[in-house]
Amino acid sequence: SLNLSNSVAIVVYEALRQLGYPGLE
């Protein structure tokens, strides 16, 4: 579902941000 996909995208983005992934400003 769209809601699930959106939630997953947010979780992945936050995880990468916590790891300091380059390119996420």
Tell me the C-alpha distance between 24 and 2, whole Å.
23
What pTM was estimated for this model as a whole? Answer: 0.54
Distance CA 21, CA 25 (A): 9
pLDDT digit string (tens) for the chain, length 25 residues: 789 999 999 999 999 999 987 876 6
| Residue 4: per-residue pLDDT | 94
Q: How far apart (Å, rounded) are the C-alpha atoms in residues 25 and 18?
A: 12
